[in-house]
Amino acid sequence: MPTPTGADVQAAVQAGLVARMTTPVQGNVIPPGALYVCDNGKFGKGWPGWQTWLTC
């Protein structure tokens, strides 16, 4: 599932200029070689629990 960003942001991700933010429940695919940051969803409705989080 792609993230809701425009072509300019996607190009910046692919160029390594910005990182992609994702959570386990989003199911987003991180492009190969892209920088990324993981939000564990702990303070929202998406917290999968420690066991799931540590094995993502």
Q: pTM above the 0.75 mark?
A: no
Measured CA to CA in angstroms, residue 53 lies from 16, 21, 47, 50 at distances of 25, 15, 8, 5
Identify whether 1 is part of a domain: no
Identify whether 51 is part of a domain: yes
pLDDT confidence of residue 2: 54
Identify whether 2 is part of a domain: no
Q: DSSP states of 5-40 as a string?
A: --HHHHHHHHTTSSPEEE-TTT-PPPPTT--EEE--
Identify whether 17 is part of a domain: yes
Q: Is the dihedral of CA 39, 42, 48, 53 positive or negative?
A: positive
pLDDT confidence of residue 50: 79
Q: With bands split at pLDDT 50, 70 and 90, how would you rate the model's confidence at 1?
A: very low
Summarize pLDDT for 9-53 with one digit per residue, the tens. Answer: 888 888 888 888 887 677 777 778 888 888 777 787 767 777 776
pLDDT confidence of residue 29: 76
Look up the domain containing 45 and give its range. 7-55
- Domain tally, the chain: 1
